[in-house]
Structure 1
Amino acid sequence: MTTTQNELMEATYVALCKHGYASLRMQDIAAESSKSKGTLHYHYDSKQELLSAFLAYLYDSFVARIDALEADSPDERLRALIETVLSPRDEETEQEFRTALLEIKAQGPYDDEFRVQLEAFDRLLHDRLETTLLDGQERGTFRDDFDAEPIADFLVTVLNGAQTRHVAVGHPPEQTRVQLLDYVDRHLVAATDADATNGTDDADAAEERSP
């Protein structure tokens, strides 16, 4: 991507936050950059083509973000993935941007190119989650009695739903994040020897209290 195209992508982000998808005009994007509307049309024939390029730009940015996650274990990597999706970097602009992005997602059923690109986001997140779960099972970090593929699918559904619910009705993604991390602890992380010992002690104590 050239310097000019990168600047236009950043301008598209700002313009989307300000105007939303439906009201966005090419002129709005040009106004957020140092380039003219003519330069914008030189690179992109239409709003649809520009937004398609913008989705590709977001995809590359998302790949870079998750590739840069610092995690020493599958458990840490899984939590970091959840945090990355549900923890906004800038609360105010992120809310505006997610609203605009939801508008773009709503075009998926009617625009084949948008749908293919949106599916790529889902597939990337699903594959990274599934790979992390399988890695954790091989290392003994996660329990070995669940199928990683449907669990990854479930997590993607919850993460996407949390973002949509946040935009549509203002439900804080922080609540979903807390619940998902609790789910990881309760249902995915393998029990340690200490957990097993504590469980035995609790059972013995309960038996002693029984009449």
Structure 2
Amino acid sequence: MTGHPETERRIREAAFRALVEHGYADLSMTDIGDELGQNPSLIYHYFDSKDDLLLSMLEVFVELFMDGQAEREFDDPTEELRAFVDQILHPEPMHAERIVSGPPSETEAAVSRLFVELWGHAQWDPDFREKTTAVESRLHETLAETIRNGIEREHFRPVDPELTADHILFVLKQGVHTHTTTNRDDAIDRAETLIDEIIDDISRA
């Protein structure tokens, strides 16, 4: 893969928009090339395959998401937990633009579909499964570390940080998946309500 960061970024942007439009199964390098406005042969100078490109896109997406969370300063672990949840359930266009310029207008739906498409493909592809496992591990550890910090500072009760992080992450994933794959328009709101109840339960009165 030839190194040229700006071109690689533009290709990842095109792949993001094309994936949201076509879905993984129907996505081709031609679709990505059309979105890019270039002959698809250009893409092969930077990425070996469609999967190589999508894995790279996922890696960059998650890095920027995690960096964005790390850059924010929180005095209250409860506020930090809620902000983390909000970033996943309600990604704003300004956040998505750190990853792609001119993201789809329905940013929340687009980002949700991105993850559901790639996680769905991970059922059949060990390379994708390895990457999605690593992503989930990072999300889980961020949640668990925030909860541990809250316990140490006596904002939270002495709960099991690992188990509580599992609980929150499970609800997050289910909310995104249900929002993307059903007509349950209330899926995101329901997930947010459930997580609010978890946070309220572990918080000291």
Q: TM-score with structure 2 length normalisation?
A: 0.85
Contact 2:90/2:108, CA 8 A, preserved across alignment: no
Q: TM-score, normalised by structure 1?
A: 0.82
Please state if 1:178 is matched with 2:181: no
Report the AA paired with residue 125 of structure 1. L
CA distance in 1, matches of 2:115, 2:162: 27
CA 73–100 in structure 1, closer or farther in 2 if over 3 Å, else same: closer
Q: Which amino acid aligns with 1:141?
A: H
Question: Number of residues paired by the alignment?
Answer: 189
- Larger Rg, first or second structure (1 or 2): 1
Superposed CA deviations along residues 176-207 of structure 1, whole A, max 9, x for unmatched, are 2123113311x11112xxxxxxxxxxxxxxxx
Q: SS at the partner of 1:141? A: coil
Q: Answer yes or no: is the 8 Å Cα contact 1:9–1:57 preserved in 2.
A: no
Identity %: 30
Q: Secondary structure at the match of 1:32?
A: helix
Aligned mates of 2:183, 2:68 — CA distance in 1: 25
| 1:72 Cα deviation after fit | 1.7
Unaligned runs of 5+ in 2: 94-104
Quote how far apart the aligned CAs of 1:97 are: 4.2
Looking at secondary structure, tell me which structure has more helix per residue. Answer: 1
RMSD between aligned residues = 1.8
Contact 2:91 / 2:111 at 8 angstroms: preserved in 1?
no
Correspondences of 1:131-142 after superposition (within 5 Å):
131-142=145-156
The structure 1 segments of at least 4 consecutive aligned residues displaced by more than 4 Å after TM superposition are none
Could you tell me which residue of structure 2 aligns to residue 107 of structure 1? 121
Instruction: Name the residue aligned to 1:205.
Output: none
Q: Equivalent residues in 2 for 1:18-33 (5 A)?
A: 18-33=21-36
Amino acid at match of 1:69: R
Whether the aligned pair in 1 keeps the contact of 2:89 and 2:108 (CA below 8 Å) is no
CA 1:24–1:97 in structure 2 vs 1: closer, same or farther (change >3 Å)? Answer: farther
Secondary structure class of the residue paired with 1:21: coil
* Structure 1 stretches lacking a partner, 5+ long: 192-211
CA shift in 2, pair 1:81/1:112, >3 Å: same
Alignment partner of 1:47 out of 50, 58, 69: 50
2:88 is matched with which residue? 85
1:94 counterpart residue number: 108
